[in-house]
């Protein structure tokens, strides 16, 4: 199985794009300036662009576009919730495409990035050459509830540690508590402690059915903006409905490929089946024995193969 990623490369151009309401989104270009344009949509909500993600593209053949969504990563101001909803992010993508002078581009999005890719496709399908969704999230109340309250048994210890962050006498559920602490209050010590526990739980869910990697997390303070954004989106149903993402009119003629681990604990395989029902030309690649994690050979092999097929 060929899972060799392309070498680590640095951006040849980067900057910030003002998109309104005080937001400036960080963007970067890597690879070949004359190459096939492709944009990678990071997950989360609340994550950021990554050097790892650009390694799925041959830098001699692709113009690799990345950006940090509002409030995320290097975008400014960090953790800002003002005018930060799904359609704002869709508009940012169009603003970035136009700023770069790209007539069309391919879009690759995983998890929450897959939901954002679908939201973009619903409004701008004519700008898409290829659409790849890896383990897409569909923002349904059931998915959010499953993530917040019903982990698989192997992830329950880290979930219990997260639950211990909550006041024992409180009546709030985890998401309501997280939204209050991260989005409505300003107790940095409590936010940092909660962010660290949340990150450990998220890591376990991402790795399932494999054990969570035994890595030392960043300081909790550094992760506060990530979970401010995540709680803001999840507590508001990600500002989009499953039905809106699956509206078939925009999806029916797209060149769409789905890659999904059969044991994904974060985004169920049924999400990709539902997308296929709205997009009859879609091709689904099921990855046996895998969950949500991208950084394992079978998932990498599947994604590398799809991208190689464009050339």
Query: Active-site residues: which are they?
Result: 111, 264, 292
Q: Residue 6, by phi and psi: left (phi above 0), alpha (psi -120 to 50) or beta?
A: beta
CA dihedral over 146, 242, 42, 84, signed as positive or negative: negative
Burial environment of residue 67 by CB neighbours within 10 A (0 to 12, 13 to 18, 19 or more): buried
Q: How far apart are CA 166 and CA 33, in angstroms?
A: 49
Residues 6+ apart with CB under 8 A from 222: none
Q: What are phi and psi of 187, to 5 degrees?
A: -90, 95
Q: Which residues of 191-218 are buried (b: 16+ CB within 10 A; e: fewer)?
A: bbebbbbbbbbbbbbbbbbeebeeeeee
Q: How far apart are CA 23 and CA 272, in angstroms?
A: 32
State how far the alpha carbon of 287 is from the alpha carbons of 16, 185, 198, in Å. 37, 41, 27
Q: How far apart are CA 245 and CA 266, in angstroms?
A: 18
Q: What are phi and psi of 175, to 5 degrees?
A: -70, -40
User: Which residues are registered as beta bridge partners of 283?
Assistant: 257
Name the token pair of 246.
Answer: 């699956």
Residues 6+ apart with CB under 8 A from 276: 258, 282, 284
User: Which residues are registered as beta bridge partners of 257?
Assistant: 132, 283
Name the token pair of 249.
Answer: 């009119």
CB atoms within 10 A of CB 253: 11
């Amino acid at each position: 199985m060929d899972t060799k990623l392309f070498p680590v490369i640095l951006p040849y151009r980067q900057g910030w794009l003002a998109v309104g309401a005080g937001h400036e989104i960080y963007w970067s270009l890597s690879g070949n300036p004359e190459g096939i344009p492709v944009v990678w949509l990071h997950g989360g909500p609340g994550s950021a662009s990554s050097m790892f993600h650009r390694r799925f593209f041959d830098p001699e053949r692709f113009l690799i576009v990345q950006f940090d969504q509002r409030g995320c990563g290097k975008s400014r101001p960090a953790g800002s919730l003002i005018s930060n909803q799904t359609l704002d992010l869709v508009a940012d993508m169009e603003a970035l495409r136009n700023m770069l002078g790209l007539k069309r581009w391919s879009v690759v999005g995983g998890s929450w990035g897959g939901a954002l890719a679908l939201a973009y496709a619903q409004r701008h399908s004519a700008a898409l050459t290829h659409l790849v969704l890896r383990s897409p999230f569909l923002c349904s109340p059931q998915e959010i509830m499953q993530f917040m309250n019903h982990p698989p048994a192997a992830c329950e210890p880290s979930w219990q540690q997260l639950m211990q962050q909550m006041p024992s006498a409180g009546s709030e559920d985890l998401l309501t508590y997280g939204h209050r602490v991260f989005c409505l209050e300003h107790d940095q010590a409590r936010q940092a402690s909660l962010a660290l526990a949340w990150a450990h739980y998220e890591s376990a869910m991402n790795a399932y059915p494999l054990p969570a990697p035994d890595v030392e997390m960043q300081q909790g303070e550094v992760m506060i903006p990530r979970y401010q954004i995540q709680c803001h989106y999840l507590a508001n149903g990600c500002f989009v409905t499953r039905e809106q993402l699956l509206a078939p009119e925009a999806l029916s003629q797209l060149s769409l490929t789905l890659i999904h681990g059969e044991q994904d604990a974060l985004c169920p395989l049924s999400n990709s089946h539902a997308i296929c029902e709205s997009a009859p030309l879609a091709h689904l690649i099921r990855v046996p024995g895998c969950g949500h994690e991208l950084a394992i050979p079978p998932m990498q092999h599947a994604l590398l193969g799809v991208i190689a097929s464009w050339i």
